[in-house]
Structures are given as structure tokens and as C-alpha cells.
Chain A
Amino acid sequence: MIHDFVILCAAGMLVSLYLMVGQKALVVAIRLYGVQSLLLGVVGVALGLAEQRTHLLVTAALTIVLKALVIPWFLLRVIDRVGIRREIEPYVNVPASLLLCLGLTVVGYRVSLGMAGASQGVAHQVVGVALSMVLIGLFLMVTRRKAITQIIALLTVENAVFLVAMGATSGMPLVVELGISFDVILAVLVLGVLVHRIVDRFESMDTSRLSNLRG
């Protein structure tokens, strides 16, 4: 039963990602990221309780606090400061994006099907979802122009990796997970600063303007 719940949450994460693909308001995207991280945390709690892995509980709590609360708050503040609230027309328009995302999901699942005989039933579903999320996250980074969206996409990829670590393996050592969380925080801080710099220089968050810097 727990496993079904976990699969449901994973699916929820994928759905939130699809929603992110489908709309343009930056604030909504950030909130969706927050929801996604919350679901990730819930997965962690569930697995931790079900399989008696206490350090998973610690990790899950950390995830909820940092990724569902702190990071979205920080990103919202950045947007506030900078004053840009909408994504502009991406390279690939929304309907086409959604179709491509479906294709990427298929690719992701194809790999998970290859994992025959892996541990529990949770494993291969979770891997499928996670891989799809990675690919879709990358896709978002490629096709969206605003820096904030790209940051969120990166964070989504990171969430996906975490999901795999929790669901398909017996979890990473606590030291490693702490290290990764720290890493993520730092990355977001740095990226936040960079967004400011980009806006300063170009009066826009459009990262395609960065090609002007090519020497």
C-alpha cells in the first residue's frame, strides 16, 4: 500500500512538471516546484516509515524545509527584486513542447523497462518517472529563455535524481545527502546572484542575450 502511495506521489511530481511546461507565469512555476519538492519529501517520509530507515526521515524533512519552502521563497524574492514575472515565447511553442515531453517520457520508461528483476516493484516505476523528469527538465532548459525557468528546471532534475536514490536504492549515506543538499543551496544562491547580474547587464533575463558576450 505504501508502494502505491509512493508511486502516486511520483506521478504527482511528473504531473507538476508537465504543468510547468504548459504555462508561462514564473510565480506559478516556482510554486509548482515547491509542490513537487513537497511530494518528494512525502515520498521520503513514507519510505522511511515503511522500511524503518530513519535517516530517510531526516533527509525528507530536510528536503521539505529546504526545497519546498526556502528555495521557492528565495526565488520568489529574486523575481520580485528584478520585476520580471512572465516567461516570453519559448523556442518551441507550448503544444509542441507538450508533445515532445510525452516522447521524452516514453524514452525514460523504455530504460526502466530494461531494469528487469530490480529490487521491489517501486523501483522500476520510480526510475521511469525520474528519468522522464530528467529529460523533461533538460528540455525545459533548452527551450526556455528566462534564467529563472532554467534554474527551476535544473532543480527539477536534481529532484529526480533524489527520487531515484530514495526509491530505487537503499539510499545514499547521510554524509553524501547532506553534501548534496548543501550543494543545491549553494547552486541556487550563486544562480540567484547571476540572475541579478544578467538583468543588470541586459535589462532582461533572456539568456539568449548571453551570446553577445562571445569574444
Chain B
Amino acid sequence: MSEESLLPLGLALHATGVALALVLRRQPAACRWVAFVASLCGSLTSFALGASVLASGRPVRGVLFANTAAGLSVGYTVDPLSAWFLVTLAVLAAPLALYSVGYLAHAIPPGRTAFVGMAWNVLLLSVEMVFAADGVLGFLVAWELMSLATAALVATDHESRPSRRSAYLFLVMSHLGTGCLVAGFFLLAQAGGSLAFADLLGGSASPGALRGLVFVLFLVGFGVKAGMVPLHIWLPEAHPAAPSNVSALMSGGLINAGLYGLVRVGAGGLGRPDPHWGMAVLLLGSVSAVLGVLYALGETDLKRLLAFSTIENGGIALMAFGAGMMGLAAGHPGTAALGVVAGLYHVLNHAAFKGLLFLGAGGVVASTGTRRIEELGGLVHRMPRTAGLFLLGSAAIAGLPLLNGFASEWLVFQALLRGFFSAERLTRIVLPLGGALLALTSALAAACFVKAFALTFLARPRSRAAAEARESPALLLVPQAFLALACVGLGLFPGLVVRVLGGVAAALPGIGPKPALAGGLAGVSVGVPAFDQLSPFVLVPAALVALGLAAAIGFMTARERRRAPTWGCGGELTAEAEYTATAFAKPLVTVFRDIYRPTREVSTVETAPYFASEVRYRSQIGAPFERLVYEPAARAVLAAAGRLRIIQAGSLHAYLAYVLVLGVMLLWWLGGLP
């Protein structure tokens, strides 16, 4: 099988999934299996394609269809960058397909199975096409299809009003972004005179004075999809509203579409970037990262917490790309390569651990019926495997050593620190600021995931549903185990990943071969002479020995270990006495209250003076972006629309009369022309 036929084959497999799901819509079980097996095969095919391109370094090109009469052709080019994103998508989508078969058996009404199966395959098909498109037309059609399929999946539970609202918000924001993309491509195509990416984004197009505007348009357009603050407001609504397998795909896979676009455009796509561009991306990324993790900390809904965490990780990737762009602008291809490598590594890692976390959360929600952490607890005894895997995912996302989150954060720090060796004043100020913010983010993320894991799984169950939860079936656990293994593997072998990514970075226009980064089986080292190194190869034996020592010391005690109920100061401890998620996060919310702007209402019901029979406490974290940016904007638009309503006479004849008058005027004017 030739490389050229892999992409069409993958797309065809997804399309087959759509068709078969439609045909089998009356048998939910068969429909599920067929649709998701097709999706799995499609993912495996695109993985194979991506891996082969990464191994050989040569891009794969082809044409999907061409119509010479209309002068229309849609082709694809899978270069190393596209290949990396395809691989990332496949690594996530393949286990997800397996998970979906088991999960959707109970999570959605059986009549809707066909719909989800079809929309899923359409979504995967369109995302693969987004990564592989080599012309504006193909890209935009795939992009739009991706947005529509996502909206359809978000609205799976369309009976519920919040779900509908989330889907609607998603569509609005998505189209805002797509509009900017269309405008950007339009300007670029006008200057470049062609619709092919090779011409427009190959680093040689020169839209001249409009370059800055084009970049801003692309930044907004792709930033919406990547969940960049302040364009992120759809993310915490849409990701939780969808079924958990879809949320996992959205968080781990669709964010990447936006990041992919930004890398294409920023890393030399429009020629040498302005220094301000990299700085803007870095600052926006930092803000996204810090705000993302802060809001995640304040959340008590497990899936919303994970959604905000996605914003945080998207921000970290943006920081890396921003640092890379600044390097490129200053003429240091080594820094640029480092930034791109760090960001791309983080993208893959995020897919792995976020996928794992969402799948675990999905299992919990399926077993207990609730997403609210305040109603969970004690699940480590009822769902031990899910708990263990979720713990691994939490440790990974918190950036703890030996796992993949640490490896990519390490690289992002390296990219940021390289700026110290730049002569530019501005760089030297902005990059350490970014580093400080990244350090803060990382520490806050650890706090956030202690909360997410411990309060969901440990201590006593806080509700009947949690007390009666059952472990997820194997079909849901095996994909999680796979992703957990990926987290461990990516953390233990950063050198190999870096070597592959070095090739990807080298293939980007303007970057070229990278002297500053070296990676091998033993580890990674940055800088010549070595500025810093990371070698899990040395660390793992040391860690094992240390753990062995700790275990040995532990065994040195008396043989018996007594079990007793937790001391409750003489009384019986119930689940109500436990620390809640809100309580856990309260000190941090208090410390950062200027950002959170929490509000609080306390009302008491007194049956007799001074004897309260009921106290109601309600606290909420402010939503500044909605309040300060979007609501005024929405109000302005509605006000303007209200004023424009005058021409909407409501009469069909009036509208036709407008057309007629305009037609006559135009023709008169045209007739007067020679």
C-alpha cells in the first residue's frame, strides 16, 4: 500500500462509518460497533501515514478530487508538521473509539447512537482533512465541517436547555473565528495570487503593509479554536455538555486544530514574524494558562474543571510557540526550533493525559450519574482501577517528574529561558515574565489536580450514588490504560520524542536544522555546551532504589498494622465532616480574589431568635470576560440590529421593491458606461 493512498483510505473508512451508522440506525449495538470500529481503522490509517512521514521526513501529496471544468481541485499535503498532528489525533482517537463503544451503551438514549456515530466519523474525517489540506478551499470546507460536526455532538443531549445554549455559543464563537480566517485568507490570496498553501504559507507571500492585519486575523481565528483567552468562553460550556468521549476528543484533539493553524502561520508561514507577534502570542498564552488554571481551581464540576485545564494547557503550548516566534523574529533559529518542539510535545502530551482524565471522569459520571465533585468521594474503594488511572493522569497533568507533563513543561521552560541570551531588551523582559507565570501555573495545576483526584475518589462517599458506584467495564478501562501507558512512555523517553520533533521543526520555513537541542534514548540536552539536561534514564533507577528504601523502612515495623476508624475527636465522623472541594480551593480563591471576584450569599432561617434551623450559603466566582467583554458587545450588536429593523418592513413586496429599484438603478448606471 503506497503512502499516497493512506489518507484517502482513512477518509474513506470514516465515510464508511458514517454510511454504515446510518444504515444500522435501528440496531444501536451493531451501529455502535460498526461506526466506532470504522473510526478506529480510520485513526490507525492516519497514524500509519503520520508515522511514515515523520520517519522519512518527506511529505506525501495527493489530490482528493479535481474538476477541471470548474477549475476546482482539492488536494492534500502531509508534511512533517501535519504528520505530527495526525499522529496526535490518532493516539487519542483510537482508544476513544474503543471507549465510545462501551460508554455510549449507557450514556445516551439508544435512538441517538446512529447520530453520534455519524457525527463522530464526520468530525474525525474533517479534522484529518484540516491537518492535511494544502489549499484554502479544502482547508476552509474541512474547518467548517469540523465546527458543524462538533456543534452537533455538543448538542447530543438537545432536550436540555444548557446543552442547546452551549452548542449555540460554540457555533457563534466558531463562526466568529472562521470569519476572521476567511478574511485573513482572502487578504493573503489577493496578495499572493493563488489559493495553495505552498504559495501562501510557504514564507514567501508578502501581503506588504497588511501583514500585521493578516496575522491578527489568523491569531483571532485560530485562537478561538485553541481556547485562547479572551476567546475561550465557549470552551467551559461546550466541553462538559458533550458526552465524555466527545469531550475528550474536543479537549485533546480539536484544540490542536487551532494550534496547528497558528504554527503554520506563525512559524515562518508569513515570512519572518514581527517581534511583536511572538510577544503577543506569548502573553496571550501566559494569560490563558494562568487564568485557565485559576478558574479550574475554583470549579466543583469535574468536567468543567477539566475544560478550564484544557485552556491552561493550550496556553502553555501557545507560550512555547510564542517564544519560538520571538526567536525566529530575532534571527535565532535554535530558539525557534526549541519553542516549536516544546509546544508540539506539549500538544501530544496534553492529548494523552487530558484524554485519560476525561475518560476517567466519564466513567465516574456514568457510574454515579453526577459530575459534581461535592457529591462524589470514596470512589477509590468502589472503582479502584479508574482511581489509579485517574491518579496517574492527574500526576501527569500536574507536571510531576517521570511523566510526560514534566517533560514538555521542562522543554517550554528551556524555550523561555533561551531568551536570556538574546540581546533584545523587550525579549529579556517578556520571557522571564512568561517563565514566572509558567512556574505559577504549574504549581497551581498541582493544587488543582490534588483537588480533582482526592476529593472525587478519596475519603467517604458524599452521596448515595457515590456509595453505590460500580467499577467501569473493561471496554472503558483498556483505553484509559493505553493512554496512561502513553503518558508514562512519553515521560520516560523524551529524547526520542525530541529527536522526531527536531525533524518536524527543521521542515518549517525559516527554521532549518537545530543545533541547540539533542535527544537520544538516554535523555535530552539543551544548549552547547550543555545548559541543562534531563535524563529519565538516570533518574528511574535512583527513584526505584529510593522507593525500595522507603518500602523497606516501612517493613521494619511491627508485623501487624491496625485498622481503626479515623479519629473524630470523640464523635463519629460522617461524610458531612469531610473537607469539600469548595473548602479545599477556598484559601487560593481568597488569595487570588482580585481575579476571581467571588460573591457570596448567606441566608439563615431562624425558627426562634438566635436559633437558626437552616443556613444557606451560596458562593460563586465571577465571570469577568462574559461580563466585561461579551455582554456589552452583544448588547451593542442587538442595539444596532434594533435600529436597523426599520428597513425590515415585514412585507414581502417591500423587499422585492428594494431589489427592483436597485436593479433598475444599476442597469441604468451600467447602460451609461461605454
Contacts and interface: CB of A to CB of B under 8 A. Distances in A.
Nearest to A212: B650
B653 A142 contact: yes
A46 B659 CA distance: 34
B565 interface: no
B651 interface: yes
A111 B649 contact: no
A139 B662 CA distance: 12
Contacts of A213: 650
Given A207-B652, A208-B652, A214-B650, A142 B667 contact: no
Q: How large is the interface on B (under 10, 10 to 19, 20 to 34, 35 or more residues)?
A: 20 to 34
B656 A211 contact: no
Interface residues of A, number: 27
Contact of B664 (A104, A113, A114, A207): A104
Contacts of A150: 656
Interface in B368-413: none
A211 B649 contact: yes
B663 interface: yes
Contacts of B656: 138, 141-142, 150
B69 interface: yes
Interface string B93-131: 000000000000000000000000000000000000000
Nearest to A175: B69
Contacts of A207: 652-653
B668 interface: yes
B670 A111 contact: yes
Interface in A171-215: 173, 175, 207-208, 210-211, 213-214
A208 B651 contact: yes
B660 interface: yes
A111 B653 contact: no
Given A110-B671, A113-B671, A134 B663 contact: yes
A182 to B, nearest CB: 17
B656 to A, nearest CB: 4
A83 B674 CA distance: 51
B651 A211 contact: yes
Interface string B640-671: 00000000111111001101100110011011
A138 B663 contact: yes
A125 to B, nearest CB: 15
B673 interface: yes
Interface in A134-190: 134-135, 138-139, 141-143, 145, 150, 173, 175
A179 B672 CA distance: 34
A131 interface: yes
Contact of B652 (A113, A131, A210): A210
A135 B673 contact: no
B650 A211 contact: yes
A138 B671 CA distance: 19
Interface string A105-133: 00110110110100000000000000100
A135 B664 contact: yes
B667 A107 contact: yes
A110 B657 contact: no
Contacts of A131: 667
A108 B668 CA distance: 8
Nearest to B652: A207
Nearest to A115: B671
Contacts of B650: 210-211, 213-214
Nearest to A108: B667
A7 to B, nearest CB: 20
Contacts of A107: 664, 667-668, 671
A202 to B, nearest CB: 12
A138 B658 CA distance: 10
Contacts of A104: 664
Contact of B668 (A110, A116, A138): A110
A142 B663 CA distance: 13
Contacts of B657: 142
A119 B465 CA distance: 82
Interface string A75-107: 000000000000000010000000000001001
Q: Which 6 A-B pairs have the closest CB atoms?
A: A214-B650, A110-B671, A211-B650, A111-B671, A138-B660, A142-B656
27 contacts: A107-B668, A110-B671, A111-B670, A111-B671, A113-B671, A114-B671, A114-B674, A116-B674, A134-B663, A135-B667, A138-B660, A139-B660, A141-B653, A141-B656, A141-B660, A142-B653, A142-B656, A142-B657, A142-B659, A145-B653, A150-B656, A208-B652, A210-B650, A210-B652, A211-B649, A211-B650, A214-B648
Interface of A: 91, 104, 107-108, 110-111, 113-114, 116, 131, 134-135, 138-139, 141-143, 145, 150, 173, 175, 207-208, 210-211, 213-214
